[in-house]
């Protein structure tokens, strides 16, 4: 249930966008649950952890890049 509007959550796929310092990381096709009413997106613990590990990895390899686009589905867990 949505914490903002108490709306119904339905499974969905979204793009996760995070701005870190000078660059932007876009992770595409991230599974989430989306509120039918207000559109708020919720990530499961597993997905949140995976996003975190992707972001950590990106920070280690990216020094010059300004934008990284990663497909969630093409990453090993
Ligand atoms: Zn809502």
DSSP string of 4-58, one letter each residue: TT-PPEEEEEEEEEEEETTEEEEEEEEEEEEETTT--EE--HHHHHHHHHHHHHH
**40 C-alpha to ligand 1 centroid (Å):** 5
The enclosing domain of 51 has a CATH number of 3.10.20
Whether pLDDT at 77 is above 60: no
* Residue 16, domain member (yes or no): yes
**67 C-alpha to ligand 1 centroid (Å):** 30
pTM value is 0.75
* Residue 48, domain member (yes or no): yes
**29 C-alpha to ligand 1 centroid (Å):** 21
* Residue 3, domain member (yes or no): no
**59 C-alpha to ligand 1 centroid (Å):** 32
Give per-residue pLDDT as tens, 24-59.
Answer: 889 999 999 999 999 999 999 999 999 999 888 877
């Amino acid at each position: 249930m949505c914490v903002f509007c108490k709306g119904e959550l339905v499974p969905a796929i979204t793009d996760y966008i995070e701005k870190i310092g000078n660059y932007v990381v876009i992770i595409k096709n991230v599974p989430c649950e989306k509120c039918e009413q207000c559109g708020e997106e919720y990530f499961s613990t597993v997905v949140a952890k995976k996003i975190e590990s992707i972001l950590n990895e990106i920070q280690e390899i990216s020094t010059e890049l300004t934008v990284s686009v990663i497909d969630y589905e093409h990453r090993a867990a």
